Amino acid sequence: MADPMTQAAAFTQAIQNELQKNLARWSNWMSDFVVSPAEPPMAQTPRDLVWKRGKIQLYRYPAQAAQRQPLPYFMVPWLGISRPYILDMLPGHSMIEYLVQQGHEVYLLDWGVIAEEDKNLSLEDIVFKILPRAIDTILDLSQAPALNLNGFCLGGVITNSYLGLHPDAPVRNYIAIVTPVDFAHGGLLKTWLGHEAFPTDLLVRQYGGIPTYLMGMGFKMLRPTGDAATLSGLWFNLDTKDYIPIFKAMDRWANDFVGMPGRFFSQIQHELYAQNKMLKGELVLQGRRVDLRNIQQPMFVATASKDHIVPPLAAKGLMDAVGSQDKKFMELPGGHISVFSGRQAHKILWPALHEWVVERSAV
Amino acid sequence: MSPQASPNSFLEFWQDFLRQSSSFWSQAATAPQPPDPSQAWQQFVTMWTEFWTKAFTLSPDTIQTSQKLWMEQLETISQGFTKVMGTDIFATMQGKFFEQQLRWQDYLTKTMQPQTDAALRALNLPSRNQMDRLFERIVNIEERLDDLETDTRIIRRALRHGNDAAPVADPPPSRARNRKAPKEEEAES
């Protein structure tokens, strides 16, 4: 143990440093939250709308590198819950921006702001109509023979169903990021939604789906101290000017919930969370069985070690369920969102993904 | 996450917590006390100072250590809540509570519906149901427009390929949507 005089000096210095930091914190708080509380502009990567179906919009992000990748990169995010602009959060912190700078032509399917009028949107509509139309549009525009398909979270459930039903789909490579497959390991969501007491049918009848406020409440309950931790982190880092725009962007997105269509939610709850039908090979859509062994494409699966929404075991089940021979699995540090949009993502996931896709995209 | 536990695990969790807390305080209370009360306080303050001095001297940055301890404390509290909320009894209680809320809401809505509709009619305003039906029709119209656009694009593509192409009545199938999986077609034939 150091002698008391050294300890006292170190302690005094630490207190002095902290006082200086507190001054910087108050200064930044006043300037960035009181005087100029505006949020930073998000989703700034240039894009154009190439297809629309009601609220559903398909955006194209043109490649920005001199050397273009041969196959388009199609992102299918989660349906409902929140908006997908987290994938293009801020300049310098955007997965889409990174990919277009590496030469990929990226397409993003934006489901829009789900409300009660979308209550009849089902997994069948998406898998048999919407996704194929979007893919046809992409292939027409890009003049490519196939594309790289990337599903995120429930978007991965959609893409798993699509590939499980369409073995000849024009998909060269398949990427599933934090995608639940084995719902038996679904964590708290499995405990709540998989329980027979959960009144799904009554909820869907009353609201047409999951309303926005309920969605927000449910996700906040998954991490009861989440808001306290977020505000604590803000205070601890408020002396760093660079931290503030990222915090504002993440905070805005993290509280920007949308609802979920009733039929889709009903299918997710009854057939996946309650009965785990997809992994068992019992999920039937329009009379056809979803067989994950039809997924033969090279596959990249990424999970997050501290994911409380889709625990790693829930996502890892896909590795053994598919028929692909060329498979890669990565469990990355971080949570459900930070794995593909946090500060570590640009160092770990994005380069790994880019290299993996490029190796397998020769035309 | 925690698997579904027996219905008594919620109570057992709290019983265990109370038991551990009681054991800690009784040990603290039975620690040897000096005859002079002021010395008891001094003993406590000495113990407390020694503990925090030890804790802070483990890291050169005292403030960072306390920040880490705070975040770890939040994480521990969250894990405690998660443990309780991950029990079968919690899921049952939540489901039943939620169901009661929805039924009550449904009852209130149905009771108030005639008066609400009458008031809206008097004010010449549309009701919620009318708005929902209107939005659904708009969504349906947009979907049909998209279907028409898709068919038109297919027909235009077929016409562009000229007379050698497949007849307009038989446009090329979508590349993205297989009619059936190959194995199913084989089985049928």
Q: What is the pLDDT of residues B139-153, one digit of tens each?
A: 888 888 888 888 898
Ranges in chain A, pLDDT < 50: 1
Q: Is A310 in contact with A153 (CB distance < 8 Å)? A: yes
Nearest to A109 by CA among A94, A131, A89: A131
Task: pLDDT band for B180, please (50, 70, 90 cuts).
Answer: very low
pLDDT in tens, A208-243: 899 999 999 999 999 999 999 999 999 999 999 999
CB contact under 8 A, A202 and B60: no
Task: pLDDT band for B2, please (50, 70, 90 cuts).
Answer: very low
Range of the domain at B172: 100-188
Chain B residue at shortest CA distance from A237: B67
User: Within a domain: residue A87?
Assistant: yes
User: What per-residue confidence (pLDDT) applies to B26?
Assistant: 64
On whether any CB of chain A is under 8 Å from the CB of B58, the answer is no
Range of the domain at A77: 48-359
User: Within a domain: residue A40?
Assistant: no
Q: Is the pLDDT of residue B167 over 50?
A: no
Task: pLDDT band for B172, please (50, 70, 90 cuts).
Answer: very low
User: Within a domain: residue A7?
Assistant: no
Check residue A338 and report its DSSP letter.
H
Query: What is the average per-residue pLDDT within B107-133?
Result: 90
On whether any CB of chain A is under 8 Å from the CB of B136, the answer is yes
Which position has the higher pLDDT, B181 or A180?
A: A180
User: Within a domain: residue B80?
Assistant: no
Matching residue, tokens 């397998």: A360
Q: Is the pLDDT of residue B64 over 50?
A: yes
User: What per-residue confidence (pLDDT) applies to B168?
Assistant: 43
Token couple for B118: 């009458």
User: Within a domain: residue A18?
Assistant: no
Rounded to two decimals, the pTM is 0.82
End-to-end CA distance of chain B: 48
User: Within a domain: residue A6?
Assistant: no
Chain B residue at shortest CA distance from A3: B57
pLDDT in tens, A11-62: 788 888 888 999 999 999 999 999 988 888 999 999 999 998 888 999 999 9
- How are strands ordered across the β-sheet holding A171-177? A48-53, A56-61, A106-110, A73-76, A147-152, A171-177, A299-304, A327-332
User: Within a domain: residue A13?
Assistant: no
Question: What percentage of chain A has pLDDT greater than the value 70?
Answer: 98
Token couple for A357: 């896709």
What is the number of structural domains in chain A?
1
For residue A117, the distance in angstroms to the closest alpha carbon of chain B comes to 5
User: Within a domain: residue B159?
Assistant: yes
Average pLDDT, chain A: 93
User: Within a domain: residue A79?
Assistant: yes
What is the number of structural domains in chain B?
1
Q: Return the CATH number at A303.
A: 3.40.50.1820
CB contact under 8 A, A232 and B70: yes
Q: What angle do CA B124, B104, B95 make, to 5 degrees?
A: 130
- Collect all residues with Cβ–Cβ distance below 8 Å to A219 and sequence separation of at least 6: A81, A257, A309
Nearest to A281 by CA among A155, A116, A164: A164
User: Within a domain: residue A12?
Assistant: no
For the purposes of burial, counting CB atoms within 10 Å of the CB of A240, is it exposed (0-12), middle (13-18) or buried (19 or more)? middle
